[in-house]
């Protein structure tokens, strides 16, 4: 595929289905809020924090995750969460994102002064502010630009400790004699019930449920009951899987959690990571798994920069399995994961994709459209279909304008 102008990538409508709120703050906002809340930072300049915490390259997952301890510390009030969500919405809209699903674990932000419900409401309110500012613009009203839509994905955690949050510390104290896996399941079910209640009673645009965090040793099966509850209430489901564990983790996300999408899935084809001794033909197991994902159109949320930063075995983007995913017919979309932690944007991720992955014009177009088709969308199916149709038309119009082939 020939070189594509960055201005084309900026202008085309984009989706971001895998973006963490607590990993996507503006650095200036983090510094300002840290001073205000009395949160100690290793540096109080953007340059200093880039050098010491939020780097372009990390040596380990532990180093990558270090930054979240600072971002979560300033996200312990509704006011701060709302502001951060508003600014994220602004940043996304400014680079052409027209659909976004923002995920975060509200139980990590709940404390004596903030409930899980209030944390979720605050995130919604911030994104609504950004949405309203864009959707009432002259360009949108005259249908020269697409409106911006968003949804919230509530994350349960695969593992947590008393240091994770006030909420988790309280739960672990009350259930100190209970097996840890059961406590994880209880916390997950509490979040699931809260989410359903907020959707049914307040009509909040919470569009999905997720589990994130340590994958190895903390299986998706711990969340079986909460996902079954979510499934019965017609809410969509995604699961961080195949990121730090093998193909079996993806299989569990499908069978234990009814997953509609998979977050990352980078270990899908790594047969050597299969530990189940009953699997005699590992290659066939993976082929069947990949075929099932493709056939059922279960989307894969790929985050290129993040994957390279947390997976030292993936040396560069050309070694990323995204091309293999596409060749297997998987529905792949490109996402940021954490705009601050990974120092990225959707435009930058797409530029990396074009620079390092050999794609046909049709494959690139399909990746862009898949971001919208795979979205859990807060409206009806017909509204979503009409929106996707408008996205396709705008993409093709811009492709003609920039003389970029699209088939």
pLDDT at 59 (0 to 100): 81
Q: Which residue carries 């993040």 as its tokens?
A: 306
How is residue 291 written in tokens? 């075929």
Contact 304, 352 (CB under 8 A): yes
The pLDDT assigned to 74 comes to 98
Rounded mean pLDDT of 359-364? 96
21-68 confidence digits (pLDDT tens): 999 999 999 999 999 999 999 999 999 999 999 998 888 777 888 999
Hey, which residues does 122 pair with through a beta bridge?
none
φ and ψ at residue 206, rounded to 5 degrees: -90, 115
pLDDT per position as a tens digit, 268-298: 999 999 999 999 999 999 999 999 999 999 9
Instruction: Tell me if 110 sits within 8 A of 167, measured CB to CB.
Output: yes
Measuring CA to CA, which residue among 144, 162, 229, 243 is closest to residue 195? Answer: 229
pLDDT at 311: 85
Ramachandran class of 260: left when φ > 0, alpha when ψ lies in -120 to 50, beta otherwise: alpha
User: What share of the chain in percent tops pLDDT 90?
Assistant: 92
> For the segment 188-241, what is each residue's pLDDT rounded down to a tens digit?
999 999 999 999 999 999 999 999 998 888 999 999 999 999 999 999 999 999
* Averaged pLDDT of the chain: 96
Pairing of strands 236-241, 332-334: unpaired
What pLDDT, on a 0 to 100 scale, did the predictor assign at position 60?
A: 76
Helices within 109-260 (DSSP H only)? 116-135, 138-141, 166-174, 180-202, 224-232, 247-257
SS3 of 202, please?
Answer: helix
Q: How many beta carbons lie within 10 A of that of residue 328, not counting itself?
A: 18
**Given this model, what pLDDT does residue 240 score?**
97
The mean pLDDT of 171-190, rounded to a whole number, is 97
Nearest to 269 by CA among 310, 205, 316, 320: 320
70-111 tens-digit pLDDT: 999 999 999 999 999 999 999 999 999 999 999 999 999 999
Question: Would you place residue 129 in the very low, low, confident or very high pLDDT band (cuts 50, 70, 90)?
Answer: very high
For the chain, the C-alpha Rg in angstroms (whole number) is 20
Q: 111 by DSSP, 3-state: which?
A: strand
The pLDDT, as a whole number, for residue 80 is 98
Q: Structural domains in the chain?
A: 6-401 (3.20.20.140)
Tokens standing for 203?
Answer: 């009509």
């Amino acid at each position: 595929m020939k070189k594509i102008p960055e201005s084309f990538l900026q202008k085309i409508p984009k989706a971001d289905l895998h973006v963490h709120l607590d990993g996507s703050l503006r650095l200036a906002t983090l510094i300002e809020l840290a001073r205000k809340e009395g949160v100690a930072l290793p540096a109080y300049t953007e340059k200093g924090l880039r050098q010491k915490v939020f780097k372009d390259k990390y040596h380990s997952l532990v180093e990558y995750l270090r930054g979240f301890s600072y971002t979560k510390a300033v996200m312990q009030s509704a006011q701060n969460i709302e502001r951060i969500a508003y600014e994220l919405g602004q940043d996304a809209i400014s680079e052409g994102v027209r659909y976004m699903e923002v995920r975060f674990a509200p139980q990590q932000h709940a404390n004596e002064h903030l409930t899980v419900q209030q944390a979720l409401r605050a995130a919604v309110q911030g994104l609504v502010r950004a949405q309203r500012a864009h959707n009432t613009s002259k360009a949108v009203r005259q249908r020269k630009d697409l409106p911006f839509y968003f949804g919230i994905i509530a994350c349960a955690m695969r593992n947590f400790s008393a240091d994770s949050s006030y909420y988790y510390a309280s739960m672990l104290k009350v259930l100190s004699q209970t097996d840890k896996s059961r406590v994880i399941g209880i916390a997950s079910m509490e979040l699931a019930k809260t989410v359903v209640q907020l959707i049914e009673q307040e009509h909040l645009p919470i569009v999905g449920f997720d589990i994130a965090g340590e994958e190895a040793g903390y299986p998706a099966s711990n969340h079986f009951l909460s996902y079954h509850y979510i499934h019965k209430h017609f809410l969509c489901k995604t699961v961080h899987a195949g990121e730090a564990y093998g193909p079996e983790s993806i299989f569990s996300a499908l069978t234990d959690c009814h997953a509609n999408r998979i977050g990352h899935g980078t270990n899908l084809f790594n047969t050597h990571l299969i530990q189940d001794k009953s699997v005699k033909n590992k290659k066939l197991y993976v082929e069947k798994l990949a075929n099932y994902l493709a056939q059922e159109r279960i989307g894969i949320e790929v985050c290129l920069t993040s994957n390279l930063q947390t997976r030292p075995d993936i040396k560069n983007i050309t070694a990323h399995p995204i091309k293999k995913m596409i060749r297997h017919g998987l529905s792949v979309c490109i996402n940021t994961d954490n705009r601050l932690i990974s120092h990225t944007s959707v435009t930058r991720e797409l530029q990396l994709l074009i620079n390092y992955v050999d794609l046909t014009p049709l494959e690139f177009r399909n990746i862009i459209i898949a971001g919208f088709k795979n979205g859990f969308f807060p409206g009806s199916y017909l509204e979503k279909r009409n929106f996707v149709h408008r996205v396709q038309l705008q993409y093709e119009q811009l492709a003609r304008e920039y003389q970029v082939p699209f088939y």
